[in-house]
Structure 1
Amino acid sequence: MLRVGLTGGIASGKSVVARRLTELGAGVVDHDVLARDVVAPGTAGLDAVVAEFGDEVLAPDGTLDRAALARVVFADPTARARLNGVVHPLVRAAAADAERSRREAGADVVVHDVPLLVETGQAGHVDVVVVVDAPPEQRVRRLVETRGMTEEEAWARLAAQADDEQRIEAADVVLDGSGSVEGLREQVDALWARWHAGAVPTDGAGA
């Protein structure tokens, strides 16, 4: 089985890659989904986040107010580190369970879709690191146009992640997310074909 770490800056095209890999038959483990699951109402994770940041990060219905939490952690690296210290161990445990289930279902490629793969030191725990890359200005424009952020908010999100050079340095494969969706999907198809031909790049060569 091939274990793949998929990452990329916010709005780089990583979701397009993850969807195409799922369509091709990979067992994709979405760490963003797991991060929501581990702080769902009634979980120890949510209790821990509230204990760390206070009731102001709770919505009236008892769910996590992600917007309120984001305003705290994206403006304060120390607060972000505290949040990561609570959530990341829970997500890693959930990811291990999810990988096991994908393997039992017969997947020969399991992809861990991890936005903060490099930042959290997980790049060395997979066989291949795939990075989706696009220019920062283009990603900010996508965030403003598709997610309703202000430019200031968008740049803050980018600043909260590893810089592009860090991600590229950790990459075995780099996919170009600056073009069309179809073009990016074609890059994924070519990579999938190479994997199943046994040509798994591990020397930092790009796609």
Structure 2
Amino acid sequence: MFIVGLTGGIASGKSTVAERFTRLGIPVIDADALARDVVEPGQPALDQLIQTFGTDMLTPDGRLDRERLREHVFAKPEQRRALDRIMHPAIGRAMQQALQAAQGPYVILMVPLLVETGQHRLVNRVLVVDVPESVQVRRLMGRDSCDETQAKAILGAQASRDQRLAAAHDIINNEGEPATLDAAVDSLHRAYLEMATDPHARERRWQLP
């Protein structure tokens, strides 16, 4: 299976790009969705989280209070590392199962922290959805109703824009109009169809629009 790792900074438009590929009939595996699945009641990862962080991290109906857990670990590096030690293997196993079940000429693996976790080494191609940090901050403030300081702190917890771009094979600039984005995804879709069967086609790097 030819795997394209889709990533980008927060509020860059990864989900919008993924939706375009889905419309073209390409399976998209969403690591964030898998992260929610592996902490459902009865899952081993949830039991590990309770043992590590306590039952205070549960909602009254026994589900993980994701927002409370985020707040708990956000400014505590040791606690964040403990969370990663539980979540990353669980998500990795779920990801492998989803990849094995995927049907299509190629598959999109959407991982927000693809570069940060080193998972970019596990895919055939890295596609980065890119916008300037000022655009990320503005979108994040509008989307999450946070102030500029909070938005910049969230960005600071991720890989830098330069780090993502350095790992990219292909780049979509997502500042433009929806029609421009549609055209960019269509171009990459045709390229990935070719790359899936012809390794020589993988030598080209794409930057769109």
TM-score (norm 1): 0.91
Following superposition, the deviation at residue 53 of structure 1 comes to 1.6
How far the C-alpha of 1:202 sits from its partner, in A, is: 4.6
- Point out where structure 1 has 5 or more consecutive residues left out of the alignment: none
**Structure 1 residue 78: Cα displacement:** 2.7
Identity over aligned residues, as a percent?
43
Distance 1:62 1:182 in 2: 44
- Are 2:97 and 1:97 aligned? yes
Distance 1:196 1:187, change over 3 A: same
> SS of 1:132's equivalent?
strand
Q: 1:206 matched to which residue of 2?
A: 207
1:205 shift after superposition: 4.9
What is the CA distance between 1:203 and its match in structure 2?
A: 5.9
The worse-fitting range, judged by mean Cα deviation, of 114-123 and 47-56 is: 47-56
Among 137, 153, 156, the residue aligned to 1:156: 153
Distance of aligned partners of 1:8 and 1:200 in 2 relative to their CA distance in 1, 3 Å threshold: farther
Q: What residue in structure 2 maps to residue 179 of structure 1? A: 176
TM-score normalised to structure 2 length: 0.90
Q: Could you tell me how far apart the structure 2 residues matched to 1:100 and 1:130 are?
A: 21
SS in 1 for 2:207: coil
Rounded to whole Å, the distance in 2 between the matches of 1:86 and 1:180 is 40
1:135, 1:17 → 2: CA distance?
A: 17
- Whether the 8 Å CA contact 1:9–1:115 is kept in 2: the answer is yes
User: Is the CA contact (8 Å cut-off) linking 1:16 and 1:184 kept in structure 2?
Assistant: no
- Contact conserved, 1:75 with 1:156, CA < 8 A, in 2? no
Contact 1:4–1:129 (Cα < 8 Å) also in 2: yes
Shift of 1:22: 0.8
The answer as to whether partners of 2:20 and 2:185 remain within 8 angstroms in 1 is yes
* Number of positions where the alignment pairs a residue of Structure 1 with one of Structure 2: 204
Q: Secondary structure at the match of 1:206?
A: strand
Superposition pairs for residues 71-90 of structure 1, below 5 Å?
Answer: 71-90=71-90
Deviations 1:151-175 (A, max 9, x none): 3332222111111111111100011
**Deviations 1:86-108, CA, capped at 9 Å, x for gaps:** 011111111111111113xxx11
Moved over 4 A (4+): 202-205
